[in-house]
A and B are shown apart, each in its own frame.
Chain A
């Protein structure tokens, strides 16, 4: 057999459609996980409750200690046992959100530690507290210092979405499996998919520098 590149080119329009879905899943999952992680971070800092911290440590340790594939299977196969029947798409997003939120929480903890304690004190002496304190003062600084690890985490999420093909979410990986299932040319089709994934992740990971520059100007 020879490598016939025309199969790659034939597959490209459908692969790009799949790539679009992959991007949507990744953005949705990542956004939800950032929201969840921000809530957790605020709750942890303002509650200072031992039980909450203990549960959180347990959750983060579990997520970091087990493969995301097993977590996806847990959400997809186990929730129906408890009567919660989610479709593959919802289950996939939920699994990715829960997974990524643990990592983003850790990232935000690092970012929060870099905000000087004087910022809290200064805000308090100006009479700013509660929601405004977080929204206007603490969170912007936390996020700006966390840009590089957050972008890195987004590429992780982007790569993890490929695993959703195993629970029948029709994204880039699944689409390519469908194509070579029909034409029996896995090498050509998978090469195309490989290049598309590489371009997506590479562009995203390089965007970190651009984002950092943009927000640095704003800060000064």
Chain B
């Protein structure tokens, strides 16, 4: 009952869709992480307007379904005279959606660095920005990587929703092949397996990477500071 022929006949088409999914996700992450960093810093800002705007951006994008954000981007941008191809709109929407989550992850990472670090950096004469760049952010890196990986995986999955605005990514291609062949089982299994393989690959690579970072932190001469950090956490 399984028609293997479909796997071979439509593989090039499906893989083309897969390639577009990859490109969109990579662009969305490349746009989303810097924007997320800005939002995270904005949320901690002392200017009430900036922190209010960043907070509401984050909360609004985290508390609505991605599909309606996509539709709004798709209809609102032309409404104000900005006509873009669906791929670009989709990438922008995915970047905006992702940045709200990235911002919360980065904020949590910054909060996890002991307060004394910022205070001592300020005490030796660094400006706020220098302290952030040279002291705080490097320390958040190892805290932030596991949740960032999770969010990346979730962006790959959310990108399937872009099929609703006619972006020819993996899911859309699957739907088109299904329309031609009327074999939903073969097509959607193929699509699901591709997503699954991509996610598992990234998850495995990042797990290895995490281990390396942990190792380099543990074996370095900074053993004292890491025990100090643990102690600080206990007393708080």
Is there an interface contact between A198 and B188, defined as CB atoms closer than 8 Å?
no
Most buried by B among A3, A162, A191: A162
For residue B156, which residues in chain A have a CB less than 8 angstroms away from its CB? Answer: 67
**Choice from B72, B161, B191, B195 contacting A163 with Cβ under 8 Å:** B161
Is there an interface contact between A78 and B79, defined as CB atoms closer than 8 Å?
no
Q: Does A149 contact B (CB under 8 A)?
A: no
CA distance A205 to B59 in the complex (A): 11
Shortest C-beta distance, A157 to chain B (Å), equals 11
CA distance A71 to B171 in the complex (A): 11
Q: Does A159 contact B (CB under 8 A)?
A: yes
For residue A1, which residues in chain B have a CB less than 8 angstroms away from its CB? Answer: 79
CA distance A193 to B68 in the complex (A): 8
Q: Does A190 contact B (CB under 8 A)?
A: yes
For residue A207, which residues in chain B have a CB less than 8 angstroms away from its CB? Answer: none
Is there an interface contact between A202 and B63, defined as CB atoms closer than 8 Å?
yes
Is there an interface contact between B185 and A67, defined as CB atoms closer than 8 Å?
no
Is there an interface contact between B75 and A78, defined as CB atoms closer than 8 Å?
no
Kindly identify, within residues 178 to 236 of chain B, every residue whose CB is under 8 Å from any CB belonging to chain A. 178, 184-185, 188-189, 191-192, 195-196, 199-200
CA distance A117 to B12 in the complex (A): 54
Is there an interface contact between B185 and A81, defined as CB atoms closer than 8 Å?
yes
Q: Does A45 contact B (CB under 8 A)?
A: no
- A1-37 contact mask (Cβ, 8 Å, vs B): 1 or 0: 1010000000000000000000000000000000000
**Choice from B65, B76, B171 contacting A187 with Cβ under 8 Å:** B76
- A179-196 contact mask (Cβ, 8 Å, vs B): 1 or 0: 000000011001101100
Q: Does B5 contact A (CB under 8 A)?
A: no
Q: Does B57 contact A (CB under 8 A)?
A: no
Size of the chain A interface, CB-CB below 8 angstroms: 37
CA distance A166 to B174 in the complex (A): 15
Is there an interface contact between A77 and B63, defined as CB atoms closer than 8 Å?
no
Is there an interface contact between B188 and A70, defined as CB atoms closer than 8 Å?
yes
For residue B30, which residues in chain A have a CB less than 8 angstroms away from its CB? Answer: none
CA distance A73 to B163 in the complex (A): 12
Q: Does B157 contact A (CB under 8 A)?
A: yes
Is there an interface contact between A67 and B171, defined as CB atoms closer than 8 Å?
yes
Q: Does A69 contact B (CB under 8 A)?
A: yes
CA distance A73 to B173 in the complex (A): 13
Shortest C-beta distance, A5 to chain B (Å), equals 14
CA distance A159 to B159 in the complex (A): 15
**Choice from B63, B157, B184, B185 contacting A66 with Cβ under 8 Å:** B157
For residue A66, which residues in chain B have a CB less than 8 angstroms away from its CB? Answer: 157, 192, 195-196, 199
Is there an interface contact between A77 and B65, defined as CB atoms closer than 8 Å?
no
Is there an interface contact between A162 and B192, defined as CB atoms closer than 8 Å?
no
**Choice from A65, A81, A191, A193 contacting B199 with Cβ under 8 Å:** A65
Kindly identify, within residues 56 to 107 of chain A, every residue whose CB is under 8 Å from any CB belonging to chain B. 61-62, 64-71, 73-74, 77-78, 81
For residue A81, which residues in chain B have a CB less than 8 angstroms away from its CB? Answer: 184-185
For residue A74, which residues in chain B have a CB less than 8 angstroms away from its CB? Answer: 184, 188-189, 192
Pull 9 A–B residue pairs with CB atoms less than 8 Å apart, ordered by A.
A66-B199, A67-B195, A69-B171, A74-B189, A78-B188, A159-B66, A186-B71, A186-B75, A198-B64
Give A residues with C-beta under 8 Å from B: 1, 3, 61-62, 64-71, 73-74, 77-78, 81, 155, 159-163, 165-166, 173, 186-187, 190-191, 193-194, 197-198, 201-202, 205
Top 10 A-B pairs, shortest CB-CB distance = A77-B184, A67-B160, A162-B65, A201-B63, A65-B196, A67-B157, A159-B65, A65-B199, A186-B75, A69-B160
- 16 other A-B residue contacts (CB within 8 Å) besides A65-B199, A163-B65: A61-B200, A65-B153, A67-B157, A67-B158, A69-B160, A69-B163, A69-B171, A74-B189, A77-B184, A78-B189, A81-B185, A155-B63, A186-B71, A190-B71, A191-B72, A194-B64
